[in-house]
């Protein structure tokens, strides 16, 4: 299974971008999918997730009002829409996926498949 990511780049503060993570095998509905990010010099951080079967979503507090994770069944992908970007959002953003349910969808070690994250740089 491959996760193919797209999106990212160098962006101005306050702007918006959508990252996409497409699954190469099976239906996206079968996967729990999360986005993680790693800022320079920092640990990888859970950002948000969407549970398999089109279930509930979860966000860290710092992005809750500005990020939206959503499934796109036509693309067989999960998108992460990010608005009102701030410089603290500069990081490599990676999607992760696993089939079915996870007890803790914020845990890095629980995911079987990872995409190669695009860099998102927020700078004026």
Take residue 88 and report the two structure tokens written for it: 């603290």
In this prediction, residue 124 carries a pLDDT of: 82
In this prediction, residue 53 carries a pLDDT of: 80
Most distant CA pair in the chain, distance: 41
In this prediction, residue 101 carries a pLDDT of: 85
Q: What are phi and psi of 112, to 5 degrees?
A: -90, -25
Distance of CA 39 to the CA centre of its chain: 14
Whole-angstrom CA distances from 91 to 20, 46, 58, 107 are: 15, 12, 19, 18
In this prediction, residue 26 carries a pLDDT of: 94
In this prediction, residue 103 carries a pLDDT of: 86
- Per-block average pLDDT, block size 10, for the chain (124 residues)? 95 96 95 96 97 88 96 95 95 96 90 93 90
In this prediction, residue 84 carries a pLDDT of: 95
């Amino acid at each position: 299974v491959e996760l193919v990511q797209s999106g990212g780049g160098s962006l101005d503060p306050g702007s918006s971008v959508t990252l996409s993570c497409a699954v190469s095998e099976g239906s996206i509905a079968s996967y729990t999918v999360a986005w993680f990010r790693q800022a320079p010099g920092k640990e990888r951080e859970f950002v948000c997730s969407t549970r398999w079967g089109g279930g509930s979503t979860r966000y860290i507090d710092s992005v809750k009002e500005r990020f939206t994770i959503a499934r796109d069944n036509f693309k067989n992908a999960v998108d992460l829409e990010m608005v009102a970007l701030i410089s603290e959002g500069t990081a490599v953003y990676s999607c992760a996926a696993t089939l079915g349910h996870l007890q803790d969808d914020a845990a890095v070690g629980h995911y079987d498949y990872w995409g190669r994250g695009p860099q998102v740089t927020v700078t004026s």
